[in-house]
Every structure is written in structure tokens, then in C-alpha cells.
Structure 1
Amino acid sequence: MNVTPIDHIRISDVVANLARAQDEKDWERFQGLFADRVTLDLTGQPGEPAEELTAPEMTAKARAIIGGFACTHHASSNLLIEVSGATARCRAHMVAYHHVPTPGVDHLTMRGYWRLDLVDANQRWAIRRWAIVRTAPWEGNPNLYDIAREGASGDLRDAP
């Protein structure tokens, strides 16, 4: 599985843009990173089955959660990339910091990795499967996702 320098750069850009799109709440950029159909795999989180979504559904789901955070910071490292023809796999170590102003503990940090399966779609790599795997205990308030989701619901009413 020979990875060309161009494919390595293009796939690394997908990882960087996935982190950036979430941190900047740039939902157009976010949606553009995915194939028409994508599998979101959160089975590394207890009780979360993998689900098949369209790119717009994936974007709406992310927006419903990430949109409620005052800020996030996703930092990736140690990318391992394999390419086989028009498909690729990438594993990126991830530290994701999430913040919502709230009494008490107002942050949550996840440590683990993203496992991305990609497909070459018209000379660009598009994500067709995104697995988020937590490899260490949460640091901070594990209820922050619920708090963010409640906050994002008001933002979505105003969305175009």
C-alpha cells in the first residue's frame, strides 16, 4: 500500500479541515468533506451504534452538538495513512477540548483517535466512514455534550 506524497498531503488536509470545520463551526466546509453517504461509528462510546447518514444529515448531527459549545479545539497527530487504489484509511490521534460556560466544571477533553475510511471522489478524498474512538477516560464534565446539545437547539431554530 504505497502512499504517494500527494495522497498523504490530501488526506492530511481532510483531517485538518475536519478539525478546523468543527472548531470554526463552518458547516459548509464540514459537509464538503464527506461522501454522499457516510457511516458515523461511535461504537467506541458505550451504547452508541454506528449509523448511516447522508452528508447533510451528518452535518446537521454535528451542528446539533458542536453548535452548542462556546469553543472547541481539535488537535491531531501521528497520522497513519494507507491507500489502495481509490480507497484509503487514516488513523489520527486526537485530543478534543470542548467548552461551555456553565457553573462548576465547564470543559470536557477527549483523548483517542479518529479512524477515517475515504474514497477518491473526483480527485479529492471524501470521508465515507468516521469512527471516533476514545482511548482514555474523559477529563472534565461528561455531561457537557448534553448541555451543548440543549444550547445548540436554540441556534438551529435560527439556521437558514
Structure 2
Amino acid sequence: MNLQEIGDRLAINELLARYCHALDRKDWPAFRAVFTENARIDFTAFGGPEGNPAELEAFLAPILDGLVASQHMVSTIIIDLDGNEAQARSAAIVPMTSASAEGAEQTLLNGLWYEDRLVRTPAGWRIAERRQVRGWVAMAG
């Protein structure tokens, strides 16, 4: 690996982490910043929409606002670089905790993969296409 490839891989890993933190913080400007303006996002694997970042934000915001907490985590990231484009696949586990009116908490665990097409932009690497691939769902607590 040369220095450019090492730098690209680090930047893409950082971008994928920023996506997770943006969702868990409900930081919608940071969420939009990880995508290209015309990005296509497919969240149909878990019953969500397919659309652009603004459409996904409109879908996700009320869900996340209704939770006590969420924690998006990605790992086992593989990246195939090709100049100014890249393909990435990452495993994700997403615990989402809700509370009943009485305060009892319950956590839904989602296991999935993200399949991404990324492009190098003047602002750095951005996600141009993202697709969720369903893995598993489990309840805890």
C-alpha cells in the first residue's frame, strides 16, 4: 500500500464512523455531510424508504427522537479502491432502546451490512450510494 491508499482508507473509515455518530447524536447537518448531494440510499431491507439524504433524514428523525438511545456501530470494513471511487462493505450492529410509559426499557438489536459506493469530492470522500442488507433482529431487556 502506498501513502495515498493508506490515507484514502483512513478517510473512508472516518467517514463511516461519522455517519454513526451523526445518527446517534441526531446531528442532521453532520448526517447530510457524509453523502454527496445526489446520493441514493436504500433502507428498504428494514422497511424504510429508498431516496436521497433529505428523505432518509425525514424518515429517521422521528424514529430516533422516539428512542431513549441508539448506538450505531460499524466494523469489519472492507474497501476496494479504484482511483476516485471506492466500494465498501461494513457490518453494523444497531441497538435501539425505547421506554414504555411506565419507564421500562426495551432494546431492539439490528444486525446488518452497509454496502456503499463512495466518491472522492473536493470536500473529501463521500457516500454516493448506500444500501442496507438485512442480517438479523433480536430483542433484549
TM-score, length of structure 1 as denominator length = 0.75
C-alpha distance in structure 2 between counterparts of 1:38 and 1:9, whole Å: 21
Q: More strand per residue: 1 or 2?
A: 2
C-alpha distance in structure 2 between counterparts of 1:74 and 1:51, whole Å: 19
Output one character per residue of 1:64-116: Cα deviation in whole Å (capped at 9) or x when no partner.
Answer: 32222111011111100011122111111111000111267721100121111
C-alpha distance in structure 2 between counterparts of 1:121 and 1:58, whole Å: 21
Letter in 1 for 2:76: N
Number of the residue aligned with 2:129: 129
Letter in 2 for 1:78: T
Secondary structure of the 1:69 match is coil
Letter in 2 for 1:112: L
1:58 Cα deviation (Å)?
A: 3.1
Identity %: 24
C-alpha distance in structure 2 between counterparts of 1:99 and 1:65, whole Å: 11
TM-score, length of structure 2 as denominator length = 0.84
Letter in 2 for 1:62: L
Letter in 2 for 1:85: G
Number of the residue aligned with 2:66: 68
Output one character per residue of 1:36-82: Cα deviation in whole Å (capped at 9) or x when no partner.
Answer: 0121213434x65x6232x3333333223222211101111110001
C-alpha distance in structure 1 between counterparts of 2:77 and 2:56, whole Å: 23
Letter in 1 for 2:61: R
The number of aligned residues is 136
Letter in 2 for 1:94: A
Number of the residue aligned with 2:43: 42
Secondary structure of the 1:39 match is strand
C-alpha distance in structure 1 between counterparts of 2:130 and 2:65, whole Å: 19
Secondary structure of the 1:9 match is helix
Number of the residue aligned with 2:81: 83
